[in-house]
Amino acid sequence: MWLFALFVAVPLIEIGLFIQVGGAIGLWPTLAIVVVTAILGTSLVRAQGAMAMGQLRDSFNQLNDPTEPLAHGAMILFSGALLLTPGFFTDAVGFALLIPPVRRAVFKYFAARVKVQSFTMGAEMHQRAPQGEDVIDGDFTDVTPEKKPTHPGVQGPSGWTKH
């Protein structure tokens, strides 16, 4: 139900804002603002996205929880989609999501409402042995004997008796 309300409300808000802004400053300045915000937003999303990818890479390298950098990357991606969508309301939300403190607040808001059952990463996954038991790590070599023909009277390998 919320999604339906969102799909109805956002276009109505955008149409209303286009009418108000277009009436106040005219058609061409309104269209220029829409194009400039798309261009500016694209460059900001590229810069913020590169920074988020660096933070994600660092969290993987240090075996830290990648949840927050992934969430920031998703919000930046969503921000880019909003900035490329023509409109003033979507641009305002898109630019707001490019501000790191806003992204942190959104992350905290959703993190407080999501419960994670378990999370393991890196070397922690290999510590499955019960405590007090020894684990022996070793190598092996396959020493299966070569298969010999089982037919009586056959003196050697032939095309008919190969196994």
Complete DSSP assignment for the chain: -HHHHHHHHHHHHHHHHHHHHHHHH-HHHHHHHHHHHHHHHHHHHHHHHHHHHHHHHHHHHTT---HHHHHHHHHHHHHHHHHHSSSHHHHHHHHHHTSHHHHHHHHHHHHTT--------GGGGG--SPTT-----------PPPP---STT--S--TTT--
Q: How confident is the model at residue 32, as a pLDDT? A: 93
- Say what the pTM is: 0.64
pLDDT, one tens digit per residue, over 100-134 is: 999 999 999 998 888 777 666 655 544 455 566 77
Q: How confident is the model at residue 4, as a pLDDT? A: 92
